[in-house]
Structure 1
Amino acid sequence: MKKMSSGLVLMLCVALLLSACSGNNGNEKTGESNSGSNSDTVTHLKFWGAIPEENGPKQALDTWNAANPDIQVEYVRYINDEAGNTKLETALLAKGEIDLFINYSMDKLVKRIQAGMAEPLDTYVQNDSFDLKDQFGENAIVKMEDKTYYIPAIILNDFVSINKSMLDEANLPIPTDWTWDEYVSYASKLSKGQGNDKVWGSFVNGAQPKIFEYMDKAVKTELGANAMYKEDGSSNFDNAAFKKYLDVMFQMEKTDKSQPPYAEAKMSKMEGSRMFLGGQVAMNWVGTASLRDIKNLESYPHDFVTAFAPPPKISTSSKNIGGGTGYLDYVTINSQTKNKDAAWKFMKWYVTEGNEPLIAGGRVPAWKHADQDKVAELILGDNAEKLFDINSFKAVAFGVKDFVVDTKFDKYPELQVITNEEGERALIGDETTAEAVANMKKRADELLGK
């Protein structure tokens, strides 16, 4: 009995010694993972994102977890609204809750980087000889303080969806490079009918009427990044591009009557995609995410082919074709995670081949080595030839080589409010477009000068 007890003591001592040797000495594969697992062979990561799990993330993580038994990743969904983003940031401050997370706007990403919530990636990139320029393009990543903090997983293109039957009936070709003046002409020619039978040539305002969002996209084709700001820190609303956009909207709504009036659209909560698929709108400025609605014949039955055109430019000399949303799903590693090496390994996979299951939902990979034919096939679905003009889709989905990426966000939410308020006054006729941009300039400069 005594020998047996001594043997047990010896075994316990050896076990404790082995446990100490395999303790938390920089080795991620310990029981001290963020999920609180007691395994000494598996690293558990928590990956936060806003896309519903059933729309691709679950399939992506199932693929990773099956191939990587030593690094298991759990997806945690948060809602991409103010409450959801606050929840994310609160969890980032609580150590152990998040290993990786996706950001869905550059202004929020910048705020999180400045707060020290994101891990610099340069050492990992260099150690793996991971050529970001080759993999994602020269302008896909904006360095901050000369450091790389994120990699974009997708490109969310903006484009104009056009009812091809209506286009053919009006003897108009699919535009491949056009200005707002040409867009106005198309809208006028595509409008027809009255009252309940009215077909509007255009609906620019997305899901529901929005001024700032679409004005910002439009002027970026002319002005490039940080369009709202001058170099001296004042606002740029006195640039002719802002007035031009309001003039175009005013002409279509009030003069040509080729687009629903802003007040009516806002009051009745008109939805551009629903009206387009219902045959009430000929052209609708949307993004790749809306393609899932076009494919959804059960909810949106229609029998016409959808063609695509790039967003109109302010002028023929505009060079920044990619003035829309562009790079998105900015993947970052939490600076507080204890599992940085494992997080990087998963992140590198996810932003290249790993997010393929999300393509069907309209999320075009930012990874330049993705198979474009396969991407188009996955996005457009089984009824592609019946529902889409495939060549025009490929032109807008893959034609833009680099997108405009903002880096300045001084008083950004307040500037959005000013733009929406003054723009609305112009479109309902309470002030002229010249007065509207003058008031935007005056109010924004006062704000930025504080």
Structure 2
Amino acid sequence: MVKRKGWSGAIAGVLLLSLLAGCGGNNSNNSTNGGANTDAGKATNGAAAGNTEKTNLRLYTYGTEEAYNWKHTLEAYEAANPGVTIELVQLSEKGDTQEAFKKLDLEAASSAPMDILMFSDAAGYAQRIALGMAEPLDEYIAKDGFKVEEDYKVDTHLDGKVYALPGKFNPWYVLLNKDNLDEAGLAVPTDWTWDDFADYAQKLTKGEGAEKRYGAYFHGPQAGGWMEFLKLKMENQPQNSEFLKADGTSDLDDPNFKATLELRMRMEKEDKSSVPYSDMISQKLAYRTQFFNQSASMILIGSWMNTEIGGTEKVPLNFNVAVAPFPKNNAADEKGLTPVTTDYVSVAAKSKNKEAAYKFVRWYTTEGQLVQGKNIPAWSKVTSDQVEGIIDTILAGTKNPEKVDKKSLVDTLVASKASAIIPPATYQAEVYKAINEEYEKMILGDQDVDTTIKNSQDRVNKIIAANKK
């Protein structure tokens, strides 16, 4: 069972919780004051002047205006629901989810009024459910007469209960500098393996020193986040794509975990075709900058980048871009299996307007995703036939959509599918942090692959044992 702690414990958990996975962003927008003492935050929910029933809902999010089209989306909801206002509380001007998690935890601990919460990853979602931050939605869902696992492409159950509905459906893919591919005489891959990926990276690497262009850039792991980059050969499998199995035991003896470590070591240390991990950490490199500044020809990233793939005011596109599917381990493996990220949209446990908040959550994760027009929805009613139209709308919002190989993007998205989802453990952040620390020792030259696996297994097993008590 999920162990639910009181709100007073949230501050003590802030430092740990801030280590959770997140997708850092470089977009900048003016943020709404997140404090509990804003005038809007003090708005009375109930009978207002003229006996008109008014409800103000506070939506806490890391999503920026540029990436989420909030103004248009919330105005559409308010127009269809007279008397309801949605107050947007943006927790990071850059869309940085780690910064947003820190601020969200502080807001929760200070008893700020909250109604709707957005979590950016499964581990962050699970951790905050353990803190008692979100309301179970099962009764509301039963009244609406649907099943999450049938109505959505992402199953959000935790310990048999649903605490969030999924918003976007963002499979991971590979962004490629098509100009660099053409220069090297390489075709845009439509079905490839990790060996192919490493071979491409070698052929795309060019130059030396400060002017060197690397074939590939991996944006993780770092600080217990971006752990997708340590599961590369596990995530494209139908089952057991996580460090923990569904029964809660360690999956670090999976040969694909070792193969991932070996791939990272080979590309950085032998081929010298991937940006050094030490550079990423010491220089605080950003994946957008690495790709759009043409410091790296290929990046593995989530399809939240669809809104930026054609270039933006802040990050212009000066070359042609193509998209390839997440690589497979072997040529005969099933095509399209890839990590999938989503927004976990919840009703705050302490909301005084839970029914109204749930109504918004259900709308936002269904029709609202189409209104927002920024992402492929996790709502299963949106068919693959509609993907191209959604992509046209998304690319039209970028500066240079003509520089994007739309066919490669649409084909990749249509073919993408998630492996079996393993509900995250409430202590998953501890597991991530431990594995991340052991990886750093390896990649920085302090231990070999086998020692890294053994130490990771020992530490993870201790974490599992401690949380069973």
TM superposition score category, shorter chain reference: 0.7 to 0.9
2:163 alignment counterpart: 149
User: CA offset at residue 321 of structure 1?
Assistant: 4.2
Deviation sequence 1:45-90 (CA, Å, 0-9, x none): 2222222356422221111112221333322233443421313433
Structure 1's 121 and 34: CA in aligned 2 closer, same or farther, altered over 3 A?
A: farther
Instruction: Determine whether 1:278 maps to 2:278.
Output: no
Q: How does 1:24-423 map to 2 (within 5 A)?
A: 35-39=44-48, 40-44=51-55, 45-53=57-65, 55-79=68-92, 80=97, 81=99, 82-90=101-109, 97-130=113-146, 132-133=148-149, 135-137=151-153, 140-205=154-219, 212-216=227-231, 218-222=233-237, 224-225=239-240, 227-230=242-245, 233-296=248-311, 298-316=313-331, 318-319=333-334, 321-326=336-341, 328-356=342-370, 358-360=372-374, 363-370=375-382, 371-381=386-396, 385-409=401-425, 411-423=427-439
Query: Take 1:367 and 1:223, find their aligned partners in 2: how far apart are those partners?
Result: 21
How many corresponding residue pairs?
410
The residue type paired with residue 405 of structure 2 is D
Deviation sequence 1:75-116 (CA, Å, 0-9, x none): 22334434213134336x56xx22222222222322443454
User: CA offset at residue 433 of structure 1?
Assistant: 1.5
Verify the 8 A CA contact 2:324 2:412 in the aligned structure 1.
yes
Query: Take 2:252 and 2:159, find their aligned partners in 1: how far apart are those partners?
Result: 28
Query: Take 1:191 and 1:144, find their aligned partners in 2: how far apart are those partners?
Result: 44
Query: Take 2:117 and 2:247, find their aligned partners in 1: how far apart are those partners?
Result: 34
Structure 1's 67 and 405: CA in aligned 2 closer, same or farther, altered over 3 A?
A: same
User: CA offset at residue 151 of structure 1?
Assistant: 1.0
Verify the 8 A CA contact 1:212 1:416 in the aligned structure 2.
yes
Verify the 8 A CA contact 2:258 2:449 in the aligned structure 1.
yes
User: CA offset at residue 229 of structure 1?
Assistant: 2.2
User: CA offset at residue 317 of structure 1?
Assistant: 5.7
User: CA offset at residue 388 of structure 1?
Assistant: 0.7
2:19 alignment counterpart: none
Verify the 8 A CA contact 2:237 2:337 in the aligned structure 1.
no
The residue type paired with residue 256 of structure 1 is D
Verify the 8 A CA contact 1:294 1:387 in the aligned structure 2.
no
Verify the 8 A CA contact 2:310 2:401 in the aligned structure 1.
no
Q: Secondary structure at the match of 2:216?
A: strand
Q: Secondary structure at the match of 1:157?
A: strand
Query: Take 2:207 and 2:227, find their aligned partners in 1: how far apart are those partners?
Result: 30
* TM-score, normalization by structure 2: 0.77
Query: Take 1:317 and 1:34, find their aligned partners in 2: how far apart are those partners?
Result: 59
User: CA offset at residue 218 of structure 1?
Assistant: 4.3
Q: Secondary structure at the match of 1:183?
A: helix
User: CA offset at residue 305 of structure 1?
Assistant: 1.3
Deviation sequence 1:135-180 (CA, Å, 0-9, x none): 323xx22333433332101112211101112222333222223221
Query: Take 1:232 and 1:294, find their aligned partners in 2: how far apart are those partners?
Result: 38
Verify the 8 A CA contact 2:217 2:300 in the aligned structure 1.
yes
The residue type paired with residue 165 of structure 2 is I
Gaps of 5+ in 1: 1-32
Verify the 8 A CA contact 1:220 1:404 in the aligned structure 2.
no
Query: Take 1:43 and 1:192, find their aligned partners in 2: how far apart are those partners?
Result: 61
CA-based RMSD: 3.0
Q: Secondary structure at the match of 1:154?
A: coil
* TM-score, normalization by structure 1: 0.80
Q: Secondary structure at the match of 2:275?
A: coil
1:4 alignment counterpart: none
Give percent identity, aligned residues only: 29
User: CA offset at residue 234 of structure 1?
Assistant: 4.2
Structure 1's 52 and 383: CA in aligned 2 closer, same or farther, altered over 3 A?
A: closer
Verify the 8 A CA contact 1:34 1:99 in the aligned structure 2.
no
Structure 1's 424 and 337: CA in aligned 2 closer, same or farther, altered over 3 A?
A: closer
User: CA offset at residue 404 of structure 1?
Assistant: 4.6
Q: Which has the higher mean CA deviation after the structures are superposed, 179-188 or 272-281?
A: 272-281
Query: Take 2:327 and 2:193, find their aligned partners in 1: how far apart are those partners?
Result: 5
Structure 1's 84 and 314: CA in aligned 2 closer, same or farther, altered over 3 A?
A: farther
Deviation sequence 1:310-341 (CA, Å, 0-9, x none): 22233446558444243x21112234434333
Q: 1:445 aligns with which of 461, 464, 468?
A: 461
User: CA offset at residue 194 of structure 1?
Assistant: 2.6
The residue type paired with residue 73 of structure 1 is I
Q: Secondary structure at the match of 2:343?
A: strand
Q: Secondary structure at the match of 1:173?
A: coil
